Amino acid sequence: MPPASPLLDDREGPRDECGVFGVYGPDHDVSRLAYYALHALQHRGQESAGIAACDTGGYIITQRAMGLVNQVFKEHDLRALGGDLAIGHVRYSTTGANEWENSQPVHRSAGSGGNRRELALAHNGNLINAIELHSSLREQGVSFTSTSDSEIIAAALSAHPAGTIEDAVAAVVPTLKGAFSTVVMTKDRVVAFRDPAGIRPLVLGQLGDRYCVASESCAFDIIGATRLRDVRPGEMVSISEQGLESRMVSGGEREAFCVFEYIYFARPDSRMNGTVLQAARGRMGESLAREAPAPDADLVIPVPDSGIPAARGFARVSGLPQDDGLIKNRYVARTFIQPGHELRKHGLRLKFNPLPEIVGGKRLVVVDDSIVRGNTTRQIVRMLRDAGAAEVHMRISAPPIKHPCHYGVDMSTREEMVAHGRTVEEIAEHLGCDTLAYLSMKGVYDAVRGSADRHCDACFTGNYPLAGTTDANDKFALERSLPVIPAGTPTLA
Ligand code: SF4
């Protein structure tokens, strides 16, 4: 399916991350907590948003729609979604013929489509054995209404004969392969679990004497919750009137947390594996300045916003002054109306505007966090030269991206990546900059105080941590392989 907006698709880096949240809190306004938590997680998905809420023992009500969190939910929606427990989800949803059907939370009602228990589910990640699971469930009489792997997990849990949701999770998780940080809600509890490699983040928080879970700790800050710890790889936590229960439901995989979360995805004020990301990104910039100095440059500028902390780090170590040479319009969303013929030639100026007074006549070091296809970087270089820059030296605080992600991030195809089949010199020539240098993988690990044996860095190195990962595991795998069986299953408000 073509991207929603070619112009803005070129502008963006990797996509298709999701954000999840869940809370058990009978003494709280849970749908409002979910709304604000999703607002804090908006950077992880900007095309659809959804909340499911429930009174203990009552009916699960789900509302989901295309759009930003504040476009999807109004005051009256939150009132209608009142209850004792809630989960929420934000998503990019370029997958599938029907975007709405693939939005979340997924809701499975009991008594139809092979379901035994009612539940709602929100998932961040990508299953690499979705086709096999889908076939096996269909053989058991389970039906589907979407082409999302999230519905497969929801269906497997809903159809499972175990007496409790916790036992169903313990039985189903070992059959899942891939990345899954998942939040499930039944009528009286929220259960969250993480794949045994812990590829996508999931963190546990406390709100008074109640508990909550979220993709990132920034979701806790906004609702006044305290971050307790990461949900462990392979762990399930169940939060209910009985408090917190923890159980290991799978294991044996080596840990493989996504290193790109530190570099780009997660918010700089989130804490992951014991480090606040703003500081880690600053250290990446410092390492970059040591590995690839630009001694004759006059000024360091970031590509806003994601290049800002690394540019500061680069300036700190190099001793060069730093300024804002590019101003970003922060209100350009992917739902933006197409610019049309007349405005298209101004291209990226819809997003970035260079300041000739700052960059004119200067030998610039321009710091960004990553380059995928290179279209944006190429336009930025041209824009800076047009604004009078004497030289443009690109410095990237991550290694070249050369391989697709099969664990929940849309990285484009190999052929679309600017680093595919090119040397660094050839990339520099393609981008039109005077010099180009990338931070090494070691530089990234030093900055995050981690190591390759506990992380996934496959989009940089091609070393996929999970056995059985192939290019056939992309997000369209299910659509290519199987028809969608319509069913009267999910009931959505
Ligand atoms: S391939 Fe890249 S983006 Fe995907 S999980 Fe691994 S490090 Fe993260």
Average confidence (pLDDT) per 10 residues, the chain, 493 residues: 36 68 97 98 92 95 94 94 95 61 89 87 94 92 86 95 97 96 98 97 97 98 97 98 97 92 94 92 98 96 95 98 92 54 61 94 97 92 96 98 91 88 97 98 96 97 91 65 44 26
Q: Which atom of ligand 1 is nearest to the CA of 460?
A: 2
State the distance from the centre of ligand 1 to the C-alpha of 152, rounded, in angstroms.
Answer: 22
Closest alpha carbon to 234 in 185, 159, 170 = 170
C-alpha closest to that of 358 among 328, 329, 324, 331: 324
Residue 31 in marked binding region:
no
What single letter denotes the amino acid at residue 482? L
**Ligand 1 pocket mutation pick from 194, 195, 456, 469 by most atoms within 8 angstroms of CB:** 456
Contact 459, 260 (CB under 8 A): yes
- Choose among 378, 395, 371: nearest CA to 295: 395
- C-beta of residue 395 within 8 angstroms of C-beta of residue 294: yes
Cis ω before 105 (30° cut-off from 0)? yes
* Annotated binding-site residue? 368: yes
DSSP lists the bridge partners of residue 94 as: none
HEC secondary structure over the chain: CCCCCHHHHHHCCCECCEEEEEEECCCCCHHHHHHHHHHHCHHHCCCEEEEEEECCCCCCEEEEEECCHHHHCCHHHHHHCCCCEEEEEEECCCCCCCCHHHCCCEEECCCCCCCCCCEEEEEEEEECCHHHHHHHHHHCCCCCCCCCHHHHHHHHHHHCCCCCHHHHHHHHHHHCCEEEEEEEECCCCEEEEECCCCCCCCEEEEECCEEEEECCCHHHHHHCCEEEEECCCCEEEEEECCEEEEEECCCCCCCCEEHHHHHHHCCCCCEECCEEHHHHHHHHHHHHHHHCCCCCCCEEEECCCCCHHHHHHHHHHHCCCECCCEEECCCCCCCCCCCHHHHHCCHHHHCEEECHHHHCCCEEEEEECCCCCCHHHHHHHHHHHHCCCCEEEEEECCCCCCCCCCCCCECCCHHHCCCCCCCHHHHHHHHCCCEEEECCHHHHHHHHCCCHHHEECHHHHCCCCCCCCCHHHCCCHHHHHCCCCCCCCCCCC
Task: Retrieve residue 170's tokens.
Answer: 């313990």
- The token pair at 441 is 């993988």
Catalytic residue among 18, 54, 218, 433, which? Answer: 18
Q: Ligand 1: which of 16, 260, 372, 460 to mutate, judged by most atoms within 8 Å of the beta carbon?
A: 260
What spacing in Å lies between the alpha carbon of 200 and ligand 1's midpoint?
A: 9
**Other beta carbons within 10 Å of 484:** 18
Q: Whose CA is nearest to atom 4 of ligand 1?
A: 405
Q: Which residue has the tokens 């997680």?
A: 41
Write out the two tokens for 366.
């321009």
Ordered domains of the chain (ranges, CATH): 6-256+477-481 (3.60.20.10), 276-449 (3.40.50.2020)
Q: What pLDDT score was predicted for residue 17?
A: 79
Q: Which atom of ligand 1 is nearest to the CA of 179?
A: 5
Q: Which residues line ligand 1 (CB under 6 A)?
A: 199, 258-260, 405, 407, 409, 456-459
Taking the C-alpha atoms of residue 377 and residue 416, their distance in angstroms, rounded to an integer, is 14
Q: Tell me the best of 264, 409, 412 to mutate to test the pocket of ligand 1, counting ligand atoms within 8 Å of each CB and taking the most.
A: 409
* CA-CA-CA-CA dihedral for 80, 81, 84, 87, to nearest 10: 180
258 is in an annotated binding site: yes
Distance 465 CA to ligand 1 centre (A): 10
Protein residue with its CA nearest to atom 8 in ligand 1: 258
Q: Round to whole Å and give the CA distance between 375 and 378.
A: 5
Predicted pLDDT at 13 = 58
Active site residue 218: no
Query: Rounded to the nearest whole angstrom, what is the distance from the C-alpha of residue 209 to the centroid of ligand 1?
Result: 35
* Ligand 1 centroid – CA 14 distance (Å): 10
Cα(121)–Cα(124) distance, integer angstroms: 10
Find out whether 369 is annotated in a ligand binding site. yes
